[in-house]
C-alpha cells in the first residue's frame, strides 16, 4: 500500500501508467536534491495544497489592472490587490495572462474557470467536472504514507459546504467547515503523537481492519451486471474504503518523529457569519490548525476554500454581497476601475495573506513549513464583472522543498491555465507529463519556476 517516490518507482510508474510523455524538466525535479532536511538529516516531505477564492481580481475596462505587476520575472512590484501578500512576495510566484479555453463549450459562469484549472477540461454542466481534479493525482503520489491522503477545508461559512476536489467529477469531497471539525479530524480520535516516547500499536485497529475485509470481500459479486455510472460510483466507494484501510495501516506503524509538531489546543467557536472579516478570521484559525496538521504529518495534501465561486461574502453591515457588487458597480470614470469591488478583492486577498503567514510561521528543518509546501492559489474568474475566464489570477506560494524558483511574475497572454496546473503537479511530485484536453491539453510546464 505504502509507496515512496524514488528513482526506480518513478520509472516503474512511467512504464505502468497511461502517461504519454515526460519532459526533461520533470526528471530534473525528481533528481534534484535541493530539498530541506530535518536536524537528524532525514528529508522533509514536500506538501501540496490548493487555495481557492471566489470572484477573481479586478481588471479595468481600459485594459489596465489592479493586480498584474508590470515587471516580469523576479522582483515584481506589489500591486494594490496583492498588498496582502507583500510580506511574503519573495516566496510567491504570480501567474498572469493565463486563460481557460472552453473551445466549443459555453463559459459556465463562476464554474468553467476553476473546473478547467482543476480538471483540465472545460465542463459541460455546472456542478460537475468532466474529470478528476488534479489534486487527487498529487494525493495518490505523495499522500499515501500519512493518515489522511488529503484534507479538505471550507472557511466560507456558506449555505452548503464547498469543495472542488473530486475523483469522479460528480461527487466532491466533504470539507471540514469549522475550526472544531478540522481540529477533530486532525487531532481528535486516531491521532498519534509522532514525538511520543512510548508509542504502542493499538490492537483495536486490527479489529477494525477485519470489519473492512468483510466489505471488500463482496466487491466482485456487487460489480457483476452493472451499468457504467453505477460501476463508477461503486469504484469510488471501494477506493474510499481502500483509503480507510491505508489509514488504519498507517496507524499501526510507529510514526516518524516530527520536530515541528506540537499538539495545538482545541479552537474556540467563532461567530457564524459570511462577512469577509469573519471568513478571514476563520481562514486564519483553520490555517493554523492545518499548518500543525502538516507539521505533525497527518496529511501532505490539502484543498482550502476561502470563498466559493459565486462568493456571497460581504462587508459587515453592508447590504450588497460581493458577487452582486462585481456585476452592478459601475466603473469609476476618474479611477478607471470599480472601487468597491477592488476594495473587496483586497480584503479577500487578506485571507490568503493570513493563510500563508500561518504556514510560514512554523519552523521546519532549516526553513519554514511554507518553504516545504507548494500552495497553488487561484480563482474562478479573471475580471468578475464580465465573467471573464481570461487572465485568471494564479499564485504559487512556498518553495516546494527547493523545487520552486519563487518570487517571479510569469506573464503569458492567452496561454492555457492547465500549463500552470501541470507545473504544480510536477513541482509537487506527481508523475504526470501531460494534462488537459482540447485546446487546454499540454505537456509544456512553465520551466521558469522549476529549479
Partner 1 sequence: MKLSRKTVPLCALVLTLLFAATEFNPISAESRDQLEKTDQLTIAVRRLTESQYRHTIRDVFSPEVEINARFEPEQREGGLLAIGSAMLSLTSSGFEQYFALASSISDQVLGDELRESVMPCIPVAAIDHDCVRQFVSRFGELLFRRPLSAAELDARVATAETGASQAQDFYAGLKLALTSLLVAPEFLFRVETAELSTASAHEYRLNAYSMATRLSFLFWDTTPDKILLDAAASGALYAESGLQSQIARLSESPQMAEGIEAFFVDMMQIDGFENMVKDPAIYPKFNQLVSDSAREQMLLTINDLLITNGGDYRDIFTSNKTFINRALAAVYRVPYTSQEEWAAYEFPEDSERAGLITQIGPMSLWAHPGTSSPTRRGIKIHEIFMCEPTPDPPADVDFSLVQDSTKGTTRGRLLDHMENAGCSSCHGRSDPAGLALEHFDGLGQFRTLENGVFIDVSATLYDGSKFTGAQGLGEFLHDDPRIPSCLVRNVFSYGVAQLPRYEDRDYLQEQTELFANNGYRISTLFEEIASTAEFYHVRIPEGIKANSEVIATTP
Tell me the per-residue interface mask from 244 to 283 with partner 1, x by CB under 8 A, - otherwise. x--x------------------------xxxx--------
Binding segment toward partner 1, per CB under 8 A, in 100-108, 347-355, 418-426, 443-451: 100-108
Q: Are 37 and 375 in contact (CB under 8 A)?
A: no
**Minimum CB–partner distance for residue 351 and partner 1 (Å):** 17
Tell me whether residue 185 or residue 404 sits nearer to partner 1 (CB atom): 185
Chain-centroid distance of CA 286 in Å reads: 14
Q: Which positions from 162 through 221 interact with partner 1, judged by CB under 8 A?
A: 167-168, 170-175, 181, 185, 189, 203, 207-208, 210-215, 217-218, 221
Cell numbers 487578506 correspond to 350
Rounded Cα distance, 307 and 275, in Å: 10
How buried is residue 15: exposed, middle or buried, by Cβ count under 10 Å (0-12/13-18/19+)?
exposed
Q: CA angle at residue 303 from 302 to 309, to 5 degrees?
A: 175
Tell me whether residue 65 or residue 152 sits nearer to partner 1 (CB atom): 152
Question: Binder to partner 1 among 149, 306, 403, 419 (CB under 8 A)?
Answer: 149
Rounded Cα distance, 340 and 151, in Å: 34
- Residue closest to 7 by CA, chosen among 34, 24, 32: 32
Binding segment toward partner 1, per CB under 8 A, in 78-86, 144-152, 360-368, 428-436: 144-152
Distance spanning both ends of the chain, measured CA to CA: 31
Q: CA angle at residue 273 from 272 to 276, to 5 degrees?
A: 135
Tell me whether residue 84 or residue 138 sits nearer to partner 1 (CB atom): 138
Tell me whether residue 33 or residue 217 sits nearer to partner 1 (CB atom): 217
**Minimum CB–partner distance for residue 272 and partner 1 (Å):** 6
The residue length of the chain stands at: 451
Q: Which positions from 13 through 72 interact with partner 1, judged by CB under 8 A?
A: 61
**Number of residues lying near partner 1 (CB under 8 A):** 82
**Minimum CB–partner distance for residue 215 and partner 1 (Å):** 5
Binding segment toward partner 1, per CB under 8 A, in 91-99, 230-238, 361-369, 371-379: 230-238
Q: Which positions from 299 through 338 interact with partner 1, judged by CB under 8 A?
A: 312, 314, 316-321, 324, 327-331
Tell me whether residue 325 or residue 397 sits nearer to partner 1 (CB atom): 325
Rounded Cα distance, 205 and 232, in Å: 29
Q: Return the sign of the alpha-carbon dihedral for residues 310, 313, 315, 321.
A: positive
Tell me the per-residue interface mask from 406 to 445 with partner 1, x by CB under 8 A, - otherwise. ----------------------------------------
Rounded Cα distance, 436 and 417, in Å: 10
**Minimum CB–partner distance for residue 119 and partner 1 (Å):** 16
Tell me the chain's radius of gyration from C-alpha atoms. Answer: 21
Q: Are 395 and 69 in contact (CB under 8 A)?
A: no
Tell me whether residue 30 or residue 237 sits nearer to partner 1 (CB atom): 237
Question: Binder to partner 1 among 77, 90, 103, 229 (CB under 8 A)?
Answer: 229
Tell me whether residue 36 or residue 168 sits nearer to partner 1 (CB atom): 168
Q: What is the DSSP letter of 411?
A: E
Using DSSP's 3-state secondary structure scheme, residue 212 falls into helix
Is 91 an interacting residue with respect to partner 1 (CB under 8 A)?
no
Amino acid at each position: 500500500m505504502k509507496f515512496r517516490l524514488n528513482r526506480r518507482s518513478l520509472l516503474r510508474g512511467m512504464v505502468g501508467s497511461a502517461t504519454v510523455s515526460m519532459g526533461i524538466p520533470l526528471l530534473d525535479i525528481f533528481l534534484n536534491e535541493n530539498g530541506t532536511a530535518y536536524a537528524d538529516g532525514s528529508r522533509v516531505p514536500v506538501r501540496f495544497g490548493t487555495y481557492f477564492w471566489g470572484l477573481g481580481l479586478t481588471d479595468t475596462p481600459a485594459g489596465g489592472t489592479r493586480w498584474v505587476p508590470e515587471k516580469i520575472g523576479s522582483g515584481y512590484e506589489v500591486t494594490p490587490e496583492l498588498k496582502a501578500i507583500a510580506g511574503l512576495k519573495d516566496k510567491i510566484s504570480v501567474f498572469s495572462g493565463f486563460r481557460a479555453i472552453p473551445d466549443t463549450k459555453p463559459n459556465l459562469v463562476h464554474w468553467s474557470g476553476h473546473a478547467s484549472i482543476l480538471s483540465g477540461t472545460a465542463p459541460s454542466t455546472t456542478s460537475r467536472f468532466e474529470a478528476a481534479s488534479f489534486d487527487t493525482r498529487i494525493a495518490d503520489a505523495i499522500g499515501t504514507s500519512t493518515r489522511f491522503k488529503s484534507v479538505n477545508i471550507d472557511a466560507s461559512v456558506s449555505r452548503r459546504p464547498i469543495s472542488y476536489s473530486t475523483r469522479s467529477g460528480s461527487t466532491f469531497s466533504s470539507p471540514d467547515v469549522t475550526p472544531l471539525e478540522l481540529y477533530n479530524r486532525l487531532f481528535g480520535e486516531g491521532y498519534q503523537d509522532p514525538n511520543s516516547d512510548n508509542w504502542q500499536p493499538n490492537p483495536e485497529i486490527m479489529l477494525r481492519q477485519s470489519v473492512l475485509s468483510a466489505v471488500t470481500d463482496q466487491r466482485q459479486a456487487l460489480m457483476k451486471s452493472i451499468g457504467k455510472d453505477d460501476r463508477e460510483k461503486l469504484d469510488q466507494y471501494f477506493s474510499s474504503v481502500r483509503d480507510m484501510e491505508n489509514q488504519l495501516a498507517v496507524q499501526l506503524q510507529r510514526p516518524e518523529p516530527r520536530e515541528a509538531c506540537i499538539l495545538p489546543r482545541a479552537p474556540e467557536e467563532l461567530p457564524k457569519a459570511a462577512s469577509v472579516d469573519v471568513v478571514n478570521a476563520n481562514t486564519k484559525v483553520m490555517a493554523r490548525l492545518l499548518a500543525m496538521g502538516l507539521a505533525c504529518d497527518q496529511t501532505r495534501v490539502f484543498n482550502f476554500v476561502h470563498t466559493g465561486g459565486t462568493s456571497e461574502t460581504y462587508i459587515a453591515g453592508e447590504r450588497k454581497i460581493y458577487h452582486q457588487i462585481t456585476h452592478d458597480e459601475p466603473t469609476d470614470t476618474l479611477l478607471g476601475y470599480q472601487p468597491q469591488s477592488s476594495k473587496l478583492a483586497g480584503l479577500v486577498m487578506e485571507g490568503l495573506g493570513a493563510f500563508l503567514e500561518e504556514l510560514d510561521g512554523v519552523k521546519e528543518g532549516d526553513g519554514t513549513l511554507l518553504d516545504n509546501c507548494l500552495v497553488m492559489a487561484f480563482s474562478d474568474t479573471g475580471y468578475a464583472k464580465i465573467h471573464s475566464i481570461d487572465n485568471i489570477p494564479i499564485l504559487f506560494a512556498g518553495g516546494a522543498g527547493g523545487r520552486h524558483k519563487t518570487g517571479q511574475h510569469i506573464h503569458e497572454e492567452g496561454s492555457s491555465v492547465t500549463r500552470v496546473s501541470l507545473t504544480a503537479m510536477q513541482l509537487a511530485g506527481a508523475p504526470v507529463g501531460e494534462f488537459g484536453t482540447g485546446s487546454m491539453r499540454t505537456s509544456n510546464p512553465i520551466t521558469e519556476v522549476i529549479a
